[in-house]
Chain A
């Protein structure tokens, strides 16, 4: 796992994270350390070559009963045809 990702993980898990100590122990680059200290997410994305275009979308659920009724009416039209 990337060292800077490990730092982010540790920062999220420790209630009283000593960021300076975590950074010193992780042995990350000065530029990465600066981004973490300055909370510069954009800079860190660039340094780690992370694609910022990550999608997290969902589909609004449709009425299941309406879909079943549609299926039933399709079957009827086949029978009558």
Chain B
């Protein structure tokens, strides 16, 4: 009998966000691997299945996280190869700013092992609800902070810019659990190319359990250098400019609209007597 893998998300707030299908997968699994955002959620998961194995033990400061994640993937797939019905449960959404699920599923498929992913409520979803942001209003870009720094990106200051894992800004080693003010200054200097120094930005953290406090601290951009940042702190940068109309595209669209209007009305007939 072939093993199988389903990667699920448990959402951000313990109990509030888990979907019925994710809960069912967890309860029915023979083995559950877990990566939760806090110890309460780990215990909560342990209450749903008798064989829950935390993947936290693979993290180690000073150890390249690519190695950590590959070890996690191998631990998960070992049980799938053993013929077990495996569920890998991650906080939030298992595939949003999270590579383990994607790597595990890709590898499972290469070995002809059935594997799939169920979506979950991510920190991004909580951010929109908690901060009253509609990404559709002016647009929204999301980047992992260090990736944003390593590569040249096009920054649209008329849209929201969300930078994840800002506490690890600029870590090329992938082995640190935080970087200091010198690295953050590099990030701030980069952002100052686009935003004014007093631009108000938000440090956001979603609630992990019901008695937690959601964090939404507004600071000036330059204050980011010395701000208190945790592993799960997200930097939200609101727009600082208005959207600019694209006159050339609008002119093309107006021409199409006019042509369609003329086609609707049909040819103009004149009666000549």
On whether the beta carbons of A59 and B15 are closer than 8 Å, the reply is no
On whether the beta carbons of A55 and B177 are closer than 8 Å, the reply is yes
Q: Which residue of B lies closest to A63 (CB)?
A: B151
CB-defined interface of A29-51 with B at 8 Å, one 1/0 digit per residue?
00000011001110011001011
On whether the beta carbons of B15 and A9 are closer than 8 Å, the reply is yes
Q: Is B69 part of the contact surface with A, judged by Cβ < 8 Å?
A: yes
Interface residues on B, range: 35 or more
Please measure, in the bound complex, the distance between the C-alpha atom of A60 and the C-alpha atom of B56, giving whole angstroms: 19
Please measure, in the bound complex, the distance between the C-alpha atom of A1 and the C-alpha atom of B26, giving whole angstroms: 14
Please measure, in the bound complex, the distance between the C-alpha atom of A1 and the C-alpha atom of B50, giving whole angstroms: 10
On whether the beta carbons of A5 and B98 are closer than 8 Å, the reply is no
Within 8 A of A (CB), among B39-56: 39-40, 42-44, 46-48, 56
On whether the beta carbons of A39 and B168 are closer than 8 Å, the reply is no
Please measure, in the bound complex, the distance between the C-alpha atom of A68 and the C-alpha atom of B66, giving whole angstroms: 17
**B101 to A: closest C-beta gap in Å:** 11
Q: Give the interface centre of B35, B43, B46, B66 by most chain A CB atoms within 10 Å.
A: B43
Quick one: given A5-B47, A45-B39, are A57 and B15 in contact (CB under 8 Å)?
A: no
Please measure, in the bound complex, the distance between the C-alpha atom of A44 and the C-alpha atom of B39, giving whole angstroms: 11
Please measure, in the bound complex, the distance between the C-alpha atom of A19 and the C-alpha atom of B56, giving whole angstroms: 31
On whether the beta carbons of A5 and B56 are closer than 8 Å, the reply is no
Q: Is the contact region of chain B dominated by helix, strand, or loop, or is it mixed?
A: loop
**Within 8 Å CB of A45, what residues of B?**
39-40
Please measure, in the bound complex, the distance between the C-alpha atom of A61 and the C-alpha atom of B146, giving whole angstroms: 9
On whether the beta carbons of A55 and B56 are closer than 8 Å, the reply is yes
Q: Is A72 part of the contact surface with B, judged by Cβ < 8 Å?
A: no
On whether the beta carbons of A2 and B16 are closer than 8 Å, the reply is no
Q: Is B14 part of the contact surface with A, judged by Cβ < 8 Å?
A: yes
**Within 8 Å CB of A41, what residues of B?**
209, 211-212
Quick one: given A9-B15, A50-B39, are A59 and B69 in contact (CB under 8 Å)?
A: yes
Quick one: given A1-B44, A11-B210, A11-B211, are A60 and B13 in contact (CB under 8 Å)?
A: no
Q: Is A8 part of the contact surface with B, judged by Cβ < 8 Å?
A: yes
**Within 8 Å CB of A44, what residues of B?**
40, 211
**Within 8 Å CB of A55, what residues of B?**
56, 59, 177, 231
On whether the beta carbons of B165 and A12 are closer than 8 Å, the reply is no
Q: Give the interface centre of A9, A44, A52 by most chain B CB atoms within 10 Å.
A: A9
Please measure, in the bound complex, the distance between the C-alpha atom of A2 and the C-alpha atom of B69, giving whole angstroms: 30
Q: Which residue of B lies closest to A52 (CB)?
A: B39
Q: What is B's interface to A at a CB cutoff of 8 Å?
A: 13-16, 35-40, 42-44, 46-48, 56, 59, 65-66, 69, 91, 97-99, 144-147, 150-151, 164-165, 168, 174, 177, 209-213, 231-232
List 6 contacting pairs A-B, 8 Å CB cutoff, sorted by A: A39-B212, A48-B40, A55-B231, A59-B99, A60-B147, A61-B144
In the complex, besides A2-B43, A35-B211, A50-B39, 5 extra interface pairs with C-beta distance below 8 angstroms are A8-B15, A8-B40, A9-B14, A52-B39, A58-B98
Closest 6 CB pairs of A and B: A1-B47, A50-B39, A9-B15, A60-B147, A11-B210, A12-B15
